[in-house]
Amino acid sequence: MSSALHSITIVGDQVQEAAEFYGRTFSAPTVQDGASVDVDLHGVGRLRLEPGAGAAEGFPGFVVTYILAQPGEVRAVMEAAARHGAEILKPAKKALFGSFAGSFRSPDGVIWKLASQSNKDTTAPSPSPKPLETTVILGVSDPKKSVPFYVALGMTKDRDYGSKYIDFLPEEGSVRLCLMQSPVLAKDVGHRGRRVDTPPLTLVRRSTVTDGGAATPVDGDAETVTDPDGFRWAASDEQPAR
Protein backbone atom coordinates (compact mmCIF):
# COMPACT_ATOMS: atom_id res chain seq x y z
CA MET A 1 0.00 0.00 0.00
CA SER A 2 1.19 3.51 -0.75
CA SER A 3 -0.25 6.94 -0.05
CA ALA A 4 0.27 10.55 -1.05
CA LEU A 5 -1.13 13.94 -0.17
CA HIS A 6 -4.49 14.23 -1.95
CA SER A 7 -5.77 17.67 -0.92
CA ILE A 8 -5.58 20.27 1.82
CA THR A 9 -8.46 21.63 3.88
CA ILE A 10 -8.32 25.15 5.29
CA VAL A 11 -10.59 26.04 8.19
CA GLY A 12 -11.78 29.63 8.52
CA ASP A 13 -14.65 31.82 9.66
CA GLN A 14 -15.22 33.49 6.27
CA VAL A 15 -15.45 30.67 3.75
CA GLN A 16 -17.31 32.59 1.05
CA GLU A 17 -14.94 35.54 1.22
CA ALA A 18 -11.95 33.19 1.01
CA ALA A 19 -13.45 31.38 -1.98
CA GLU A 20 -14.04 34.70 -3.72
CA PHE A 21 -10.43 35.73 -3.09
CA TYR A 22 -9.00 32.51 -4.53
CA GLY A 23 -11.37 32.60 -7.47
CA ARG A 24 -10.37 36.14 -8.37
CA THR A 25 -6.67 35.94 -7.55
CA PHE A 26 -5.91 32.60 -9.19
CA SER A 27 -8.81 32.53 -11.70
CA ALA A 28 -9.55 29.23 -9.97
CA PRO A 29 -12.84 27.33 -10.42
CA THR A 30 -14.81 26.92 -7.19
CA VAL A 31 -17.66 24.55 -6.32
CA GLN A 32 -20.04 25.03 -3.39
CA ASP A 33 -20.52 21.90 -1.26
CA GLY A 34 -22.93 22.76 1.52
CA ALA A 35 -21.18 25.22 3.83
CA SER A 36 -17.80 24.31 2.29
CA VAL A 37 -16.17 25.28 -0.98
CA ASP A 38 -13.81 23.25 -3.16
CA VAL A 39 -11.15 25.18 -5.10
CA ASP A 40 -9.47 23.62 -8.14
CA LEU A 41 -5.92 24.97 -8.53
CA HIS A 42 -5.96 24.32 -12.26
CA GLY A 43 -5.41 20.59 -12.07
CA VAL A 44 -2.25 20.66 -9.94
CA GLY A 45 -3.78 21.07 -6.50
CA ARG A 46 -7.03 20.77 -4.57
CA LEU A 47 -8.04 23.11 -1.77
CA ARG A 48 -11.14 22.74 0.39
CA LEU A 49 -12.44 25.62 2.51
CA GLU A 50 -14.46 24.62 5.57
CA PRO A 51 -16.19 26.76 8.22
CA GLY A 52 -14.61 26.95 11.66
CA ALA A 53 -12.58 29.15 13.95
CA GLY A 54 -10.53 31.74 12.05
CA ALA A 55 -6.76 31.61 11.88
CA ALA A 56 -5.03 32.73 15.07
CA GLU A 57 -2.47 35.52 15.04
CA GLY A 58 1.01 34.28 14.22
CA PHE A 59 2.76 32.05 11.73
CA PRO A 60 0.23 29.35 10.65
CA GLY A 61 2.98 26.74 10.49
CA PHE A 62 2.74 26.02 6.79
CA VAL A 63 3.13 27.73 3.40
CA VAL A 64 1.40 26.92 0.12
CA THR A 65 3.67 27.46 -2.89
CA TYR A 66 2.24 28.31 -6.32
CA ILE A 67 4.89 27.66 -8.94
CA LEU A 68 4.61 29.57 -12.22
CA ALA A 69 6.51 29.53 -15.51
CA GLN A 70 8.14 32.96 -15.45
CA PRO A 71 8.56 36.20 -13.44
CA GLY A 72 5.86 38.14 -15.29
CA GLU A 73 3.31 35.58 -14.16
CA VAL A 74 4.53 35.80 -10.56
CA ARG A 75 4.11 39.59 -10.71
CA ALA A 76 0.63 39.29 -12.26
CA VAL A 77 -0.67 36.93 -9.57
CA MET A 78 0.98 38.98 -6.79
CA GLU A 79 -0.70 42.15 -8.10
CA ALA A 80 -4.05 40.35 -8.29
CA ALA A 81 -3.65 39.13 -4.70
CA ALA A 82 -2.91 42.66 -3.49
CA ARG A 83 -5.95 44.06 -5.35
CA HIS A 84 -8.22 41.55 -3.66
CA GLY A 85 -7.04 42.14 -0.11
CA ALA A 86 -3.85 40.14 0.47
CA GLU A 87 -1.05 41.43 2.70
CA ILE A 88 2.24 41.40 0.80
CA LEU A 89 4.97 39.89 3.00
CA LYS A 90 7.79 39.84 0.43
CA PRO A 91 7.47 41.70 -2.88
CA ALA A 92 8.25 39.58 -5.92
CA LYS A 93 11.92 39.84 -6.89
CA LYS A 94 14.97 37.83 -7.95
CA ALA A 95 15.82 35.10 -5.45
CA LEU A 96 18.43 32.39 -4.91
CA PHE A 97 19.67 30.08 -7.66
CA GLY A 98 18.30 32.20 -10.49
CA SER A 99 14.70 32.03 -9.33
CA PHE A 100 12.06 34.73 -8.82
CA ALA A 101 9.69 34.75 -5.84
CA GLY A 102 7.47 36.69 -3.47
CA SER A 103 4.95 35.92 -0.74
CA PHE A 104 1.65 37.16 0.65
CA ARG A 105 -0.90 36.40 3.36
CA SER A 106 -4.40 35.85 2.00
CA PRO A 107 -7.41 37.31 3.86
CA ASP A 108 -8.11 33.93 5.49
CA GLY A 109 -4.61 33.88 7.05
CA VAL A 110 -2.90 31.41 4.71
CA ILE A 111 0.62 32.30 3.57
CA TRP A 112 1.29 31.79 -0.12
CA LYS A 113 4.63 31.85 -1.89
CA LEU A 114 4.66 32.58 -5.62
CA ALA A 115 7.76 31.37 -7.42
CA SER A 116 9.33 30.80 -10.82
CA GLN A 117 12.50 28.82 -11.40
CA SER A 118 13.53 31.45 -13.95
CA ASN A 119 14.14 35.16 -13.26
CA LYS A 120 13.69 36.19 -16.89
CA ASP A 121 10.57 36.19 -19.07
CA THR A 122 10.84 34.29 -22.35
CA THR A 123 7.33 35.04 -23.64
CA ALA A 124 4.54 37.51 -22.93
CA PRO A 125 2.94 36.57 -19.56
CA SER A 126 -0.50 34.99 -19.73
CA PRO A 127 -3.34 37.26 -18.49
CA SER A 128 -4.55 34.32 -16.36
CA PRO A 129 -1.39 32.40 -15.36
CA LYS A 130 -1.77 28.71 -14.51
CA PRO A 131 0.61 27.00 -12.06
CA LEU A 132 3.05 24.29 -13.07
CA GLU A 133 2.92 22.78 -9.59
CA THR A 134 1.63 23.53 -6.10
CA THR A 135 3.23 22.45 -2.85
CA VAL A 136 2.42 22.68 0.84
CA ILE A 137 5.50 23.15 3.00
CA LEU A 138 5.06 22.15 6.63
CA GLY A 139 7.16 23.93 9.23
CA VAL A 140 8.52 21.14 11.42
CA SER A 141 11.10 20.79 14.18
CA ASP A 142 13.43 18.59 12.14
CA PRO A 143 12.54 17.36 8.62
CA LYS A 144 14.82 14.33 8.92
CA LYS A 145 13.23 13.18 12.18
CA SER A 146 9.73 13.67 10.74
CA VAL A 147 10.29 11.36 7.76
CA PRO A 148 9.54 8.02 9.55
CA PHE A 149 5.98 9.19 10.29
CA TYR A 150 5.25 9.84 6.62
CA VAL A 151 7.00 6.70 5.43
CA ALA A 152 4.84 4.73 7.90
CA LEU A 153 1.78 6.25 6.19
CA GLY A 154 3.04 4.83 2.91
CA MET A 155 4.49 7.99 1.36
CA THR A 156 7.55 7.88 -0.89
CA LYS A 157 10.40 10.27 -0.17
CA ASP A 158 11.64 12.20 -3.18
CA ARG A 159 14.26 14.93 -2.66
CA ASP A 160 16.25 14.80 0.57
CA TYR A 161 18.51 17.60 1.81
CA GLY A 162 18.74 16.35 5.37
CA SER A 163 17.49 18.75 8.01
CA LYS A 164 17.11 21.60 5.50
CA TYR A 165 14.40 20.29 3.16
CA ILE A 166 12.67 17.00 2.30
CA ASP A 167 9.72 16.34 0.02
CA PHE A 168 7.60 13.41 -1.14
CA LEU A 169 6.35 12.17 -4.49
CA PRO A 170 2.99 13.77 -5.24
CA GLU A 171 -0.16 12.10 -6.48
CA GLU A 172 -1.07 13.13 -10.02
CA GLY A 173 -3.04 16.38 -9.93
CA SER A 174 -2.33 17.02 -6.24
CA VAL A 175 -0.22 19.20 -4.01
CA ARG A 176 3.36 18.10 -3.29
CA LEU A 177 4.20 17.64 0.42
CA CYS A 178 7.43 19.29 1.64
CA LEU A 179 9.11 19.69 5.03
CA MET A 180 11.31 22.55 6.29
CA GLN A 181 12.38 23.72 9.72
CA SER A 182 9.67 26.05 10.98
CA PRO A 183 11.87 29.11 11.77
CA VAL A 184 13.60 28.82 8.38
CA LEU A 185 10.27 28.56 6.56
CA ALA A 186 8.83 31.59 8.37
CA LYS A 187 11.91 33.64 7.53
CA ASP A 188 11.78 32.55 3.89
CA VAL A 189 8.32 34.07 3.45
CA GLY A 190 8.98 37.17 5.56
CA HIS A 191 6.99 36.27 8.68
CA ARG A 192 8.38 37.12 12.13
CA GLY A 193 5.61 35.94 14.45
CA ARG A 194 5.62 32.76 16.53
CA ARG A 195 3.96 29.65 15.19
CA VAL A 196 0.33 29.10 16.21
CA ASP A 197 -0.40 26.15 18.47
CA THR A 198 -3.04 24.63 16.19
CA PRO A 199 -2.46 25.01 12.43
CA PRO A 200 -5.79 25.79 10.67
CA LEU A 201 -5.59 22.96 8.16
CA THR A 202 -6.17 19.27 7.65
CA LEU A 203 -4.05 17.34 5.17
CA VAL A 204 -5.97 14.65 3.32
CA ARG A 205 -4.07 11.62 2.09
CA ARG A 206 -5.21 8.99 -0.37
CA SER A 207 -3.99 5.40 0.03
CA THR A 208 -3.79 2.96 -2.87
CA VAL A 209 -2.89 -0.65 -3.53
CA THR A 210 -1.36 -1.82 -6.79
CA ASP A 211 -2.84 -4.83 -8.56
CA GLY A 212 -1.49 -5.74 -11.95
CA GLY A 213 -0.05 -2.26 -12.42
CA ALA A 214 -3.30 -0.42 -11.62
CA ALA A 215 -3.60 1.65 -8.44
CA THR A 216 -6.96 1.59 -6.67
CA PRO A 217 -8.11 3.42 -3.52
CA VAL A 218 -8.14 1.56 -0.23
CA ASP A 219 -11.68 1.19 1.15
CA GLY A 220 -12.32 2.18 4.73
CA ASP A 221 -9.00 3.99 5.20
CA ALA A 222 -10.59 6.76 7.24
CA GLU A 223 -8.15 7.02 10.13
CA THR A 224 -7.40 10.52 11.39
CA VAL A 225 -3.97 11.04 12.92
CA THR A 226 -1.78 13.90 14.10
CA ASP A 227 1.85 14.04 13.02
CA PRO A 228 4.75 14.77 15.42
CA ASP A 229 4.51 18.52 14.73
CA GLY A 230 0.78 18.86 15.37
CA PHE A 231 -0.56 18.71 11.80
CA ARG A 232 -3.83 16.82 11.41
CA TRP A 233 -4.11 14.12 8.75
CA ALA A 234 -7.29 12.49 7.44
CA ALA A 235 -7.77 9.88 4.73
CA SER A 236 -9.83 9.85 1.54
CA ASP A 237 -10.74 7.10 -0.93
CA GLU A 238 -11.81 9.64 -3.57
CA GLN A 239 -10.50 8.92 -7.04
CA PRO A 240 -7.88 11.44 -8.23
CA ALA A 241 -8.95 14.05 -10.77
CA ARG A 242 -8.09 13.28 -14.41
pLDDT tens across 163-205, in order? 999 999 998 888 999 999 999 999 999 998 888 888 889 999 8
Question: Who has greater pLDDT, 214 or 159?
Answer: 159
**Length of the chain counted residue by residue:** 242
210 pLDDT exceeds 60?
no
Share of the chain above pLDDT 90, in %: 68
49 and 10 in contact (C-beta within 8 Å)? yes
123 and 116 in contact (C-beta within 8 Å)? no
238 pLDDT exceeds 80?
no
1 and 218 in contact (C-beta within 8 Å)? yes
* DSSP type of residue 57: S
- Kindly report the pTM of this predicted structure: 0.90
Share of the chain above pLDDT 70, in %: 90
229 pLDDT exceeds 70?
yes
240 pLDDT exceeds 50?
no
118 and 98 in contact (C-beta within 8 Å)? yes
Instruction: Map out the domains of the chain with their CATH numbers.
Output: 2-236 (3.10.180.10)
With 0-12 / 13-18 / 19 or more C-beta atoms within 10 angstroms meaning exposed / middle / buried, residue 177 is buried
**Taking the CA of residue 224 as centre, how many other CA atoms within 13 Å lie in the half-sphere pointing to its CB?**
7
14 confidence band (pLDDT: 50, 70, 90): very high
Beta bridge partners of 92: none
Mean pLDDT, residues 53-57: 74
SS3 234: strand
176 and 135 in contact (C-beta within 8 Å)? yes
Tell me what pLDDT residue 146 has. 94
State the amino acid at position 209 in one-letter form: V
Query: CA 185 → CA 63, 65, 195, distances in Å?
Result: 8, 12, 11
239 confidence band (pLDDT: 50, 70, 90): low
242 pLDDT exceeds 80?
no
25 pLDDT exceeds 60?
yes
Q: For the chain, what is the mean pLDDT?
A: 88
The Cα–Cα gap between 5 and 45 comes to: 10
pLDDT tens across 62-88, in order? 999 999 999 999 999 999 999 999 999
pLDDT tens across 84-126, in order? 999 999 999 998 777 899 999 999 999 999 999 988 888 888 8
